[in-house]
A and B are shown apart, each in its own frame.
Chain A
Amino acid sequence: MLIKKPADIRSSEITPRETYLNRRKFMKDAAVAGAALAASSILPAEAATGDSPAGRQLQFRKSDLSTQGEELTPLKDITTYNNFYEFGTDKDEPAKNAHTLPTIPWTVAIEGEVKKERLYDVESILKMHPSLEERIYRLRCVEAWSMVIPWVGIPLASVIKAVEPTSKAKYVAFQTLHDPQQMPGQRRAVLRWPYVEGLRMDEAMHPLTILAVGLYGETLMNQNGAPIRLVIPWKYGYKSIKSIVRIRFVEKQPPTSWNIAAPDEYGFYSNVNPEVDHPRWSQARERRIGEFLKRKTLLFNGYADQVARLYTGMDLRKYS
């Protein structure tokens, strides 16, 4: 005779079908709520303090101001061939050294001749524009190489309007994080730290000037200037300052890092110009990364139609 063993689970413990269905519904609801929450934050929400949330998907719309008809530089080249002296002066060093920099939390001090002077987190800066935009731009380095990069960001003009600069604000000064602990390149005085850059107000307000937080649809890698950087496509690359912690509205032309390092070689304006050579090398041609032959460098990096009016009446040789 077989003795029936009592069941391991008492029938009272079995979840009633109704409750079970309810729980499913609850989870579904929770997921919907989560998605709604994620949609309200522009940057990926799952990142934790002390993290560097590089390479996460961003929501953005395409922009009419993107450069058309250029082949994009491969992501691998954009993320392994960098000038970011804070992480080393060799091109491959930023990719090797930058990943340890925590970019959460990150605040940008907006200050000086501005009404809404305070600390902003990156998220609140991005909310000053309706949505993130993809901007495909050529990038021309002063070293005579170039890339085509699909940035994701917002126009700097939207931020400037939102923070309401006073009438005294004639220039905008930018500053990179200064943290020799996290940025090993700053332990040597290759440049005067922190890295600083600046724009004239009309340059800063120009629709092509953006604050970028991503490229190729994902949040910036640290070697590309995470979490937030400037991109000014008609100027040499070093003007597009990375990992910004301070934006200051000022009355007088602010100092800029490469101009401090070598005033006879790097001017304040630093507009791409094939006619004005670097004292040590020609700027007439450039090597597009991935191409064998060199191509002709274009005035204002090919954006003359949009930006030349900013400089009418100025001697571009003198104000280089």
Chain B
Amino acid sequence: MPMTRKTIAVVKSIIWVACLAPLFRLVWKGLAGRLGANPIEFITLSTGTWTLVCLLTTLAITPLRRLTGQSWLIRLRRLVGLFAFFYGTLHFITYIWLDKFFDVPDMIKDVMKRPFITAGFLAFLLLIPLAATSTAGAIRWMGGRKWQLLHRLIYISGVSAVVHFWWKVKADVREPAIYAAVLAVLLGIRLVFRIHAKLSRPGPPANRRRA
């Protein structure tokens, strides 16, 4: 189905609203004093959760495009990806400000000593170059191949983010397990695509055919 520029603009507006809704919910709850007994924990959990959701949604776009043949979907990927970075930034700021109060030595100790913080920090760190090179200009400047290679960092970021969540919970891993399963499917599909592409690629005949 060919999409007009106008339809894509409408779809993008919907994504904007959907992706900003969690933030507005937080602000609204905050102003109404409805963030519960431990508001900072609530904000930390909420921003973390939405980072993961946006990250996995970003990772879902390419497989969805290939499976459905709707190539216009790719034009939504940057927007959702940037929202993942946006919530990741909020999550990170919550940590350095409301949890650590800018105590840099303590934060460094945390990142070095605590695997779950290390994983979360890595997940966020890897998103920075991706956000920085998200413009069309950056793609031109880098060249498509290099750009694509760089942006594969999102796989590592996604894995780190899920590991971060998994290591953070005390006993009930049900929720991180759901994210892990979704991530496994999204990365698994890519592997299948890759194998499929390799097998069906025309080129020099394979050894076993010669034998």
Contact = CB atoms under 8 A, between A and B. Distances in A.
Interface in A198-226: none
B49 to A, nearest CB: 12
A61 interface: no
B115 interface: yes
B172 A91 contact: no
> Size range of the interface on B?
20 to 34
A253 interface: no
Given A280-B114, A280-B115, A281-B114, A85 B171 contact: yes
Interface secondary structure of B, over-half rule: helix
> Size range of the interface on A?
20 to 34
B37 A191 contact: no
Contacts of B38: 81, 91, 145, 287, 289
A188 B171 CA distance: 11
Given A280-B114, A282-B110, A91 B36 contact: yes
Contacts of B25: none
A153 B36 CA distance: 27
Nearest to B110: A282
A162 interface: no
A145 B41 CA distance: 10
Contacts of A77: 37
B14 interface: no
Interface in A282-320: 282, 287, 289-290, 292-294
A282 B171 contact: no
A281 B95 CA distance: 13
Interface of A: 76-77, 80-81, 85, 89, 91-92, 143, 145, 188, 190-191, 261-262, 277, 279-282, 287, 289-290, 292-294
Interface of B: 36-38, 40-41, 99, 101, 106, 109-110, 113-116, 167-168, 170-172, 174
Given A289-B37, A294-B101, 19 more contacts: A77-B37, A80-B37, A81-B36, A81-B37, A85-B171, A91-B37, A92-B36, A145-B38, A190-B171, A191-B171, A279-B114, A280-B167, A280-B168, A281-B114, A282-B106, A282-B109, A282-B110, A287-B38, A289-B38
